Structure 1
Amino acid sequence: MTQRIIIADDHPLFRTALSHAVGRVWPEAEIAEARSAAEARVALEQGDAEALLLDLHMEDSNGLSVLMDLRQDFPSLPIAIVSASEEPRVFAAASQLGAAAFIPKSSSLDEMRAALAAVQEGDTWFPASETSDDEDLSRMASLTPAQRRILAAIRQGLLNKQIAYDLDISEATVKAHITAIFRKLGVNNRTQAVLVAAKLDVDQPVADSVSG
């Protein structure tokens, strides 16, 4: 069976560079390119993939929430994050959320090949850094897709009635989801929930962990 590697990145030149690295590790692989998380999902649904190389910042995604969503829907798929981020906290968060590798975009071609070779062997590869599990991330990972969509809407500052309209559900359902979100995250209000969710961002530092 032909191996399929999916490269999801919105920069054509970087997709080309990744294709070269993939070709060194999987010389017989079919490479499918995607410019967005939505296109990557379509490619994944078309058949078995050996691995996904995923940029965290595309037109329809920005941060580790896209990793959480794809890990939930494709739990056996090795996902190698490819990102411009150089922050150790992001490396650690990606590892905790189930990424198989984290490849900074500043990596050399040799480093990219080493990371992909580790993924091919069923191992993990991350830049050297001190890592520790973050309880807030574990709590975020426990949210359902519907709850994550509502939390994303809360981060946008939408009111319950606006969320209900956008998601085509009742306000009572929105309130029930929000209650469940607060319980799972161990918070008491929207502000605290937003601070916890900010740990999925990759572009800026986040506040310390928020407890109930």
Structure 2
Amino acid sequence: MQLLLIDDHPLIHLALQALLADFQPSVRLQPVLNIAAARAALQPGHGFELVLLDLQLHEEDGFAFLDELREAHPELPVAVMSASDSMSDVIRAIDQGAMAYIPKTIEPALMKEALELVVSGGIYVPSMRMTGVPPPPAPGQQAVAAPPPPRPQALDRLPITPRQQDVLHGLLLGKPNKLIANELGISADTVKDHVQAIFRALGVRTRTQAVLAVSQMGKVNQ
């Protein structure tokens, strides 16, 4: 597997080289220090199967480049790393099409598990016990009721059709409806209908909520 690592700290390059030395499938890691080098590496025929992007690049906006990657290479899975454990950052990254949000404080074994999940077609988000979650109401204030999260269940038990499973897989990869439609040979309107059926099955209203719900179920069916 060819993996493009975009991180401006050479020590991270060395650490990941060591961490992934026994990774299966075996990894050929190409590290770059900045976005310009990443663009140069991602020329036609690049061969990369996964991009690992640091969101806190020196004087560069990792979120903006995540958008650029999803637009220019919608078929290429992107996992992001960050020193931040803010829930708002997690949601923003997933909303922009990231397949994983990996805090840099994560244990090495968990990082490997996260990458294995992404490589196998799954998604990874860290524990929901993170900063950025609204605090409880102060004494005397009334709490605002929030809808309960969807109950985790196996993906193969979701009441959706095999075609909707295909659409769900594309959705989790951050692909837009038009690209999913082209790949499956169906209309964009049909994809939209399938997406709404998937949302109903998951008990969610948005793509980001769908990704977070599926992340609790484990691996995406291939």
Normalization by structure 2: what TM-score?
Answer: 0.54
Partner of 1:93: 92
- How far does residue 27 in structure 1 lie from its aligned partner after superposition? 5.1
Q: Deviations over 1:6-37 (max 9, x none)?
A: 11101011111222333333453221110001
Question: What's the secondary structure of 2:79's corresponding residue?
Answer: strand
Partner of 2:53: 54
**Matching of residues 1-212 of structure 1 within 5 Å:** 3-26=1-24, 28-45=26-43, 47-59=46-58, 61-129=60-128
Relative to structure 1, is the Cα distance of residues 63 and 40 closer, same or farther in structure 2, using a 3 angstrom cutoff? closer
Q: Tell me, in whole angstroms, the C-alpha distance in 2 between the residues paired with 1:124 and 1:20.
A: 23
Question: What's the secondary structure of 2:21's corresponding residue?
Answer: helix
Q: Tell me, in whole angstroms, the C-alpha distance in 2 between the residues paired with 1:8 and 1:109.
A: 18
CA contact (8 A) 1:38 1:60 kept: no
Question: What's the secondary structure of 2:52's corresponding residue?
Answer: strand
Normalization by structure 1: what TM-score?
Answer: 0.57
Q: Tell me, in whole angstroms, the C-alpha distance in 2 between the residues paired with 1:26 and 1:73.
A: 28
Provide structure 1 residue ranges, at least 5 long, that are not aligned to the other structure: 132-141, 143-212
Letter of the structure 1 residue corresponding to residue 97 of structure 2: G
Question: What's the secondary structure of 1:6's corresponding residue?
Answer: strand
Provide structure 2 residue ranges, at least 5 long, that are not aligned to the other structure: 134-175, 177-222
Q: Tell me, in whole angstroms, the C-alpha distance in 2 between the residues paired with 1:24 and 1:120.
A: 15
Q: Tell me, in whole angstroms, the C-alpha distance in 2 between the residues paired with 1:41 and 1:7.
A: 12
- How far does residue 60 in structure 1 lie from its aligned partner after superposition? 5.1
Q: Tell me, in whole angstroms, the C-alpha distance in 2 between the residues paired with 1:61 and 1:128.
A: 27
CA contact (8 A) 2:101 2:125 kept: yes
Q: Deviations over 1:166-206 (max 9, x none)?
A: xxxxxxxxxxxxxxxxxxxxxxxxxxxxxxxxxxxxxxxxx
Q: Deviations over 1:62-95 (max 9, x none)?
A: 2411110111111011111011111011011111
Q: Tell me, in whole angstroms, the C-alpha distance in 2 between the residues paired with 1:108 and 1:124.
A: 17
Relative to structure 1, is the Cα distance of residues 50 and 23 closer, same or farther in structure 2, using a 3 angstrom cutoff? farther
- How far does residue 56 in structure 1 lie from its aligned partner after superposition? 1.1
Partner of 1:176: none
Q: How many residues align?
A: 131
Q: Tell me, in whole angstroms, the C-alpha distance in 2 between the residues paired with 1:63 and 1:28.
A: 27
CA contact (8 A) 1:25 1:116 kept: no
Q: Tell me, in whole angstroms, the C-alpha distance in 2 between the residues paired with 1:24 and 1:68.
A: 31
CA contact (8 A) 2:13 2:31 kept: yes
Q: Tell me, in whole angstroms, the C-alpha distance in 2 between the residues paired with 1:23 and 1:51.
A: 16
What is the RMSD computed on CA atoms of the aligned residues?
Answer: 2.3
